[in-house]
Structure 1
Amino acid sequence: MRQRSGQPSPAAPGPLRSRVGGWPIAAALAVIAIILYIIRYALLPFVFAIAIAFVTDPLIRAGQRRLGLPRWVVGALIYAALVLLFAATLYAIGSNAAHDLMQLVQRGPAIIHKFVESVVGPNGVNVFGTTYTADDIMRALAAIGDKLVEIGAVVQIGKLGVGAIFGLFLTLVLAPYFMISGPRLAAGSIWLIPPERRKSVTDVLPKIIPALRRYLLGIFLVVVYTSLVAWIGFGPIFGLPGAVVLAVTIGILEIIPVVGPISAAALVGIVAAQQATLAGAGLLMGFVLALRLSIDNLVGPIVLGQAARLHPVVVITGFVFGAMLFGAVGLLLAVPTAVCIKIALQHYYAEPIRPEERQD
């Protein structure tokens, strides 16, 4: 039937919009944050498993293209290779670290006593009219240790050790599932977003994913580089006792920007105080300083990408709030979250910082 002239034509139906508005989304995010806070200590295995799957995804896709095999076959092969590599590394480090740990336990009191004596001097230090010698401080430390045993701190440390072993086992169980089903899980997560908001998310993901993957792979390379170079210096060059344990500890501390390097420097300072000569202590500290400069000015900027350009204030703030709210999980996810927020804001606002506001 022909329409009469002068009558407006019916409007074309617009795209369907979901009934989920801003406030329901905010409420849902708040509920999710509360749930994550409650189960924060159980999330570590999932975080590590997702990180492994996230980093290995390009390798799995490349294997699919080259070999023409299903994803689950390529993922299983890569997972088996990673497990074998991890087991070999753990055996190589553990065989030396066990001996070094026994030596550190035996020589621990003597090392601490010598360090305290080098700080307070042979005659002690005077505090408000009372002189405290190295022996007095050691007796006070021993009393603190006995008090910690009484309140069950040793039992708590044992529980943490058992929890760490269980978390490692759970990570090894979860990793292949995330590696094989990663794309399906990612697509399902995007499907949970309201339809009219999915495009904005899918537009920014190609910018976030490479930066995030580069950070995770880069921090792993920094830890490996630091541990390897530190072991070469502490072991073959300086011949320090417990070189393997010390090198691995310093490497792991690199995961925590700002705070980690300071803690590593303090740890090496304690070891340097044990050197027989002042020249030996100076050479050791010089080696650690050279290692620190190589990480900050060469290795770090190359492998970390966007994360290396975060302002230290942003990094420290992220670590403080992340650790306070979510514990170890927040500590590990602070920098990746900051990187994602920075890239998302740059994408949505499309307004980079003006040159005159940048500081070298």
Structure 2
Amino acid sequence: MREAFARVWENPYVRVLVFLVLFYLAYRLLVRAWPALSILLTAFAFAYLAHPVVRLLEARRLPRALGVVLVYLGLVLFLGLASFLTAQTVLELSQLTRELPRLLEPLVSWLLSLPERVRAVPIPEGLQPVLAEASRNLEGLLRGFLEALVRWLQGLLSQGGNLLGFFTSLLGGVLQLLTALTLSVYFLYDLPRLGRAALSAFPEPYQPLVAELAAKLDRSVGGFIRGQLLVAFLVGLLVGTGLWLVGVPLAASLGFLAGVFNLIPFVGVIVSGVPALLLAATGGWLKALLALLVLWLANQLEGNLFGPLIVGRATRLHPVTAIAAILLGATLFGLWGALLGVPAAAFLKVLVEDYYKGSRLYREG
């Protein structure tokens, strides 16, 4: 019987068919178990990201339990501050959208009077209608951008008026959120022991390889996510402080926007830049130019200092590859795909460089 099975198994089509059936069954099981798995993954993700903070507090000779408590107190304070800034941003941007025609009126008037200002230069006939249409297109583009941004922020506050409501709706209910928070406490407190237990589940000959792969995964994916959180905080702090010094209204909220959207590389300064420049323009063109200088400086520091120094070592990805990973991830999986596209691409690069290129398949075909 065993020999007959071995002969059947030698057929590659049989193996492919069996693997396809197994993959389909695993997929169906994953779909059925996803509500429970999402709670476990959320709890583990928070514990994994917060673990370096607890480890740092332990190095300061604080008990691990106290470190966990401090992390959760910090989380509560952050959610309260973020909810306040988000609500304030929604109110201000909604008002800004209504006042957009008045804000753009000086620019539109300048464009329409441009042919009269440059009499020395021959201006083709019919240019004024083109300039008028261009100004209307600009107003429509800015209005659409602000309305989309307001809708997204309102979505964060739609459940309960704060970010806890957003996480509740994300996990499917208050009970699921409380379960995830409770599990994350246990995960965070016992993470080193859980890691050793997970490693011991693999066969002993494979444990060194699994440990090596886990370390590389931590450097590429974990290092990127933690580094991106730090970069987002620095960019948000820089934008908020700079706009406050310039005198732009809602500077703290704009810095918060820059930090949140900077979790997706290359996006944060751009998203916060449009409302910042419009709000600065209410105080005159000089203030708008100074606000533009602040945003340019933040973008340069992120691209040439913060990113390469903090995140670049973890990913080592070309900017084109990073942008492609963001676009592909956002297309396939939405916001989570955009957030995790770059670390996933970084981990795939590790697998290709460290394992595939050293394999017999790569060398011999």
What's the TM-score bracket when you normalise by the shorter of the two chains? 0.5 to 0.7
* Alignment partners' CA distance in 2, 1:339 and 1:29: 25
Amino acid at match of 1:334: G
Instruction: Please say which of residues 222-231 and 259-268 is displaced more in the overlay.
Output: 259-268
For 2:116, the equivalent position in structure 1 comes to none
- The one of 329, 344, 348 equivalent to 1:341 is 348
- Per-residue Cα deviation, 1:118-169 (whole angstroms, up to 9, x for no partner): 5654787736x9969769x78xx79xx8xxx9xxxx8998369744444487
The yes-or-no answer on 1:86 pairing with 2:75 is yes
Q: SS of the residue aligned with 1:218?
A: helix
Distance 1:224 1:332 in 2: 16
Counterpart position of 1:57 = 51
Q: What is the CA-CA distance between 1:240 and the residue it aligns to?
A: 1.5
* Cα distance in 2 between the residues matched to 1:40 and 1:323: 20
| Residue 329 (structure 1) aligned to one of 332, 336, 354 | 336
**Match for residue 311 of structure 1 among 308, 311, 318:** 318
Q: Is 1:126 the counterpart of 2:129 in the alignment?
A: yes
Contact 1:208 1:344 in 2 (8 A): no
- Map residues 155-170 of structure 1 onto 2, 5 A cutoff: 158=158, 162-167=165-170, 170=177
Task: Give yes or no for the alignment of 1:284 onto 2:291.
Answer: yes
> Any idea what SS the aligned residue of 2:249 has?
coil
SS at match of 1:223: helix
State the Cα deviation string for residues 11-67 of structure 1 (Å, max 9, x = none): xxxxxxxxxx88766765566567768988997765553333223435556777996
What is the TM-score of this pair, normalised by structure 2?
0.66
Asked whether the 8 Å contact 1:218–1:304 carries over to 2, the reply is yes
Look up the SS of the partner of 1:286 in the other structure. helix
3-state SS in 2 of match to 1:257: coil
Cα distance between partner residues in 2 of 1:44 and 1:272? 42
Q: Distance in 2 between matches of 1:345 and 1:183?
A: 28
- Relative distance call for 1:107 and 1:314 in structure 2 (3 A) is closer
Contact 2:236 2:258 in 1 (8 A): yes
With structure 1 as the length reference, what TM-score do the two structures score? 0.67
In the TM superposition, 1:1-360 aligns within 5 A as 28=22, 47-58=41-52, 60=54, 74=64, 76-92=65-81, 98-99=87-88, 101-110=90-99, 112-117=100-105, 120-121=108-109, 126=129, 158=158, 162-167=165-170, 170=177, 171-183=180-192, 186=195, 199-235=208-244, 237-277=245-285, 279-307=286-314, 309-349=316-356
User: Secondary structure, in 3 states, of the residue corresponding to 2:284?
Assistant: coil
Question: What is the alpha-carbon distance in structure 1 between the residues aligned to residue 195 and residue 336 of structure 2?
Answer: 20
| CA distance in 2 between partners of 1:196 and 1:334 (Å) | 32
Aligned pair count reads: 311
User: Cα RMSD between the aligned structures?
Assistant: 4.5
For 1:45 and 1:121, locate their aligned partners in 2 and report how far apart those are by CA, in whole Å. Answer: 55
Per-residue deviation, 1:292: 0.9
Structure number with the higher helix fraction is 2
**How far did residue 310 of structure 1 move?**
0.8
Is this contact kept in 1: 2:243–2:294, CA < 8 A?
no
Contact 2:232 2:262 (8 Å CA) reproduced: yes
The CA distance in 2 between the partners of 1:244 and 1:68, in whole Å, is 32
- Would the alpha carbon gap of residues 37 and 316 (structure 1) be closer, same or farther in structure 2, given more than 3 Å must change? farther
TM-fit CA distance, 1:262: 3.6
Structure of higher RCO (CA pairs closer than 8 Å, 6+ residues apart): 1
Counterpart of 2:181, as a letter, is L
CA distance in 2, matches of 1:328, 1:226: 20
CA contact (8 A) 1:227 1:247 kept: yes
